Amino acid sequence: MYINVKDALNYKRLFTFIVGNRGGGKTYSAKRWMIEQWINHQSKSFYIRRYDTEFEDAKNFILDIQHEYPDMEFTVNNYGVYLNGEIFIYFRALTKSVNIKSSTFPDVGQIVFDEFIIDKGMKRYLKNEVEAFLELYETISRTRDVKCLFLSNAVTVVNPYFTYFRIPCSDNGIIKGKHWIVVKTTNEEFINHKKKTKFGELIANTNYSRYAIDNQYLRDNNDFVMSKNNKAEYQGGIKYLDKYYGIWLDIENCKIFVNNKVNPNSKNMYCILNDDMSENLLLVKNKRKIPLIDLLDFGFKHGYVFYENIGIKSIFMDIARVLKFY
């Protein structure tokens, strides 16, 4: 009834992305895979999360799967998982990856990156996150082809990894590239089982049910997705996470459009994060004193803001959160 990550790994891609139902057993199956790789092949693993705080309950990492190995004595600390005193699963936060840049890991054969897609409002992607991950990957792999398994719930198809590797936004079950594969799992047995629970009945026919049970992307829909019209005039731009977004206003129809077309020579160019500061940009500290930001705030709260595509819409939701539009 639950996900088996080996089904996706059988496609033999270097990077395997699995997007599955919440509670569908992705992490559990990945733990079993890492344990068996060590027991059967003496191959160690890296288990990666984004932030250090995500390892605060690391001591419980093995509790749910311990019963499958009653004759083995696992121990866990902040550095990883041990069997008979030897570490075989390393824990590492992506934010701390630079600390091991000069280390070597010739006995590591696989990497698991859990929750590689974040939910808006929960945490934030790191600046240049994909390249930070690739630096960590190269530190571990050197010149070897070390498999990496990426796991996530179906939050949104819009994320830095799919963008970086030009993986198309799609709701299809399997998308293949030469060295990567995206597997969006759908298990009817699991879906039917979860729908029959009291919680499943409680959330029936809600957006959360479609996400948590039916494995539909939670944050993706075409509401407010619209290309700018010819009446819209350029107002300025915002830089966010090293990318620029243009703001356009159609006064006649009370519509504000957000796309990726900007005029770099405009005086109305802003950023909202210190890391995005560069020449000819003003850092937003008080949105009430900046007409462009005030316009966006008003438009967002009254449903006047439209986005070129789902990707820009998803990113603007994060911008709106940082600027405290909601």
Residue written as token pair 């089982």: 193
Residue 164 pLDDT grade (very low, low, confident, very high; cuts 50, 70, 90): confident
Does the residue 288 lie in any domain?
yes
Residue 34 host element (H or E): helix 26-41
Task: Tell whether the model's pLDDT for residue 200 goes beyond 80.
Answer: no
The tens digit of pLDDT for each residue in 31-81 reads 999 999 999 999 999 999 999 999 999 999 999 999 999 999 999 999 999
Pair 31, 130 in one domain? yes
Cβ(34)–Cβ(110) below 8 Å: yes
Pair 196, 251 in one domain? no
- Of 52, 3, 12, 55, nearest in space to 31 by CA: 3
Partners of residue 74 on adjacent β-strands: 83
The tens digit of pLDDT for each residue in 116-152 reads 988 765 678 888 899 999 999 999 999 999 999 999 8
Pair 34, 109 in one domain? yes
Kindly tell me the burial class for residue 113, based on how many C-beta atoms sit within 10 Å of its own C-beta (0-12, 13-18, 19 or more).
Answer: buried
Domain with 251 in it: 233-322
Residue 86 host element (H or E): strand 86-93
Does the residue 220 lie in any domain?
no
Does the residue 222 lie in any domain?
no
Residue 182 is encoded by which pair of tokens?
A: 């995206």
- Is the pTM for the entire model greater than 0.95? no
Question: Into how many domains does the chain fold?
Answer: 2
The tens digit of pLDDT for each residue in 201-224 reads 777 777 666 655 555 555 556 778
Strand order in the sheet with 86-93: 74-77, 80-83, 86-93, 44-49, 108-114, 147-153, 15-20, 180-184, 174-176
Does the residue 39 lie in any domain?
yes
The tens digit of pLDDT for each residue in 4-33 reads 999 999 999 999 999 877 777 899 999 999
**DSSP-based three-state secondary structure for 306:** strand
Q: Strand pairing of 147-153 and 86-93? A: unpaired
CA pair distance 91, 65, nearest whole angstrom:
17
Does the residue 228 lie in any domain?
no
- What is 258-272 written as a DSSP string? EES---TT-S-EEES
Cβ(109)–Cβ(43) below 8 Å: yes
Does the residue 127 lie in any domain?
yes
CA atoms 248, 121, 281, 284: torsion sign: positive
